[in-house]
């Protein structure tokens, strides 16, 4: 029985580096996706209609994106500390927040567009 346990331990030792590298790669990819979503949201925010009725919305969107941006270094810190699963979770959450803000900005842009001519 001890021989089997030792053999299993040796087998696992061989797998760990590959799994660790895969987790690191996933964390780095999630971080990149979150950064891309943040940049996309910032670009949309720059296109958002700026008017009397939208000022509060734009300020709220900007604050939301600032929160996402401020949290991004935490992902890099977790990656550096080899907390790859935590980094991936955080990056995916930040990407979700940035994507949600993008959707809200896009809705505001669509809402502000002048009504087109109706087809007869």
- The model's confidence at residue 2, banded by pLDDT at 50, 70 and 90, is confident
- Give residue 116's pLDDT: 52
Q: Looking up tokens 């590959």, which residue turns up?
A: 18
Cα dihedral 62, 63, 67, 70, rounded to 10, equals 70
- What's the pTM? 0.80
N- to C-terminal Cα distance for the chain? 83
Cα dihedral 95, 98, 101, 106, rounded to 10, equals -90
């Amino acid at each position: 029985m001890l021989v089997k346990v030792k053999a299993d331990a040796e087998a696992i030792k061989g797998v760990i580096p590959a799994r660790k590298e895969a987790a690191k790669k996933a964390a780095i990819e999630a971080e990149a996706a979150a950064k891309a979503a943040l940049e996309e949201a910032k670009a949309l925010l720059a296109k958002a209609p700026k008017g009397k009725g939208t000022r509060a919305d734009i300020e709220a969107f900007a604050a939301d994106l600032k929160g996402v941006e401020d949290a991004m270094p935490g992902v890099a810190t977790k990656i550096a500390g080899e907390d790859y699963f935590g980094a991936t979770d955080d990056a995916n959450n930040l990407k979700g927040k940035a994507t949600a803000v993008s959707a809200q900005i896009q809705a505001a842009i669509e809402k502000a567009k002048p009504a087109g001519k109706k087809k007869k």
